[in-house]
Amino acid sequence: MSEESGQLKRGLKNRHVQLIAMGGAVGTGLFLGSGQLIEQAGPAIILGYAIGGFIVFLIMRHLGEMIVHEPVAGSFSHFANKYWGPFPGMLAGWNYWILFILVAMTELTAVAKFIHYWWPHIPAWSTSLFFFICITLLNLANVKFYGESEFWLSLIKVIAIIALILFGLYLILTPGGSETASFTHLWAQGGFFPHGFEGLFWMMAFLMFAFGGMELIGMTAAEVEEPEKNIPKAINQVVWRILVFYIGSITIILSLIPWNQLELGSLDKSPFVYIFSQLGIDWAAHLLNFIILTAALSVYNSSMYVTSRMLFGLAKQNNAPKAFGKLNKQGTPINAVLFSAAIIFGCVILNYSAPEEALSHLIYVTVAALVLNWAMISITHWIFIRKQKQLGIQSTFKAIASPLSNIVVVLFILMILGIMWQVGFKESVIMIPIWIALMWLLFKLMRSRNNKSS
């Protein structure tokens, strides 16, 4: 595609979209962050993932109805701009961009942790720099290269999780499998709620980080073949991915060893790798570490893709510099990719200056951007269905129980913000109104400049 035409190519096939959707669902939040959740909530985190997954599925259906109606670049930023107003459109787009910048930084930091498992002498910043260069170059190529790379990276972790569950079931159910493995671990050490329901409740904000990235399927809308067919198929399978990837894998892991025997000590250690090491199955621990590494690279790869496409969409809406709307001969928004990469490079600097605290800092800030993003999707969808009803337009892929589901999502997000305020995330909560105020000033500045130029 030439720069003159300015349209993204529909180079993603159904298999790409299905695996991209799966890839966005499984990353650091599950493989690394779940350790801290297990220590604080015990087996009850299984219920936590079920609740969080249900909320995310509702959000995905809100987004899906709008995408199938109009599959365009910029995803819900375009819809917020069209149905809610210019400022919400700009805020949604830039918030989504900063969200995935933070997700990319988080996953890139996690990659260094997984490499550290094998080679502890290698500095975290040098590992981050190496993979930063590789993924940036990959995203500068044609979208088909991204689709293929994400297809195979996601396929590795999907097969791995299914294999993990089957291998775990073998250890639990067969007499010669493992002496310690048993489903009774889910309730034998202090019950299913060893710290009471409060133990799970106060962890819900941290738990929701694991689901960040599922909605990136919306960013493929302008580049996927037959979006009206392939997007609904990918979104409807979210519930099965949650059941298998989150609930299934955590149930198996917590059945292999008593949850209170986990001595992870920090956020930097994966309970998946730790448990197989404790069971004396070193080959499985090493293999799992490799698979988790590919999972983090997969989400990082997707995050780089998403940030560039959102900048492209913002430029088309006049909510970002027009330079971000230019495509090279391969149909890639090269300026958008390079600018996003330059900001993500800050992760390399963070890993150099504060390697121990980098991951926890990034997760805390990311949750704030994430909940604002989800709230804007559901509110935008609520406005969308009202206007569609006024125009007498029937959707071909309706969301579940709207507007009740929209209200449920917004109330849940308010609860998450309340939890964040109580458990030490105050800075993240305070950043939300500050961020909105900064975007408002930028919005006014850009509108003023556009009016003068016209």
> Would the pLDDT of 215 be above 50?
yes
- What pLDDT is stored for residue 222 in this prediction? 56
Q: How confident is the model at residue 5 (pLDDT cuts 50, 70, 90)?
A: very low
How far apart, in whole angstroms, are the C-alpha atoms of residue 198 and residue 231? Answer: 37
Q: What is the DSSP string of 341-373?
A: HHHHTHHHHHHHH-TTTHHHHHHHHHHHHHHHH
Mean pLDDT of 354-359: 59
Length of the chain: 454
Residue pair 78/338 in contact (Cβ under 8 Å)? The answer is: no
Burial-class residue 423 by CB neighbours within 10 Å (0-12, 13-18, 19+): middle
Q: Give 273-291 pLDDT, tens digit per residue.
A: 777 777 777 777 788 788 8
> Would the pLDDT of 163 be above 60?
yes
Residues pairing with 12 in the sheet: 224
Say which range, 40-44, 147-151, 194-198, has the weakest mean pLDDT. Answer: 147-151
Q: How confident is the model at residue 312 (pLDDT cuts 50, 70, 90)?
A: confident
Q: How confident is the model at residue 354 (pLDDT cuts 50, 70, 90)?
A: low
- Report which of 27, 340, 428 is spatially closest to residue 212, judged by C-alpha positions: 27
- What pLDDT is stored for residue 12 in this prediction? 59
Reduced to 3 states (helix: H, G, I; strand: E, B; else coil), residue 202 is coil
- What pLDDT is stored for residue 216 in this prediction? 67
- What pLDDT is stored for residue 380 in this prediction? 94
- What pLDDT is stored for residue 441 in this prediction? 93
List phi, psi (to 5°) of 351: -70, -25
How far apart, in whole angstroms, are the C-alpha atoms of residue 295 and residue 163? Answer: 15
Q: Mean pLDDT score of the chain, rounded to an integer?
A: 80
Q: How confident is the model at residue 436 (pLDDT cuts 50, 70, 90)?
A: very high
Q: Give 22-59 pLDDT, tens digit per residue.
A: 665 565 566 666 777 888 888 999 999 899 989 988 99
- Give Cα separations from 92 to 65, 88, 137, 342, 448 (angstroms): 17, 6, 27, 21, 20
CA angle 393, 394, 395 (to 5 degrees): 120
Domains of the chain as residue ranges with CATH? 14-442 (1.20.1740.10)
- What pLDDT is stored for residue 364 in this prediction? 66
Q: Give 49-91 pLDDT, tens digit per residue.
A: 899 989 988 998 998 898 888 877 556 788 888 899 989 989 9
Residue pair 52/204 in contact (Cβ under 8 Å)? The answer is: yes
Mean pLDDT of 212-231: 68
Nearest-10 crossing angle of helices 124-139, 282-316:
50
- What pLDDT is stored for residue 269 in this prediction? 63
How far apart, in whole angstroms, are the C-alpha atoms of residue 328 and residue 347? Answer: 27
pTM for this structure? 0.81
CA angle 368, 44, 55 (to 5 degrees): 45
Helix, strand, coil share of the chain (percent; to 5): 75, 0, 25
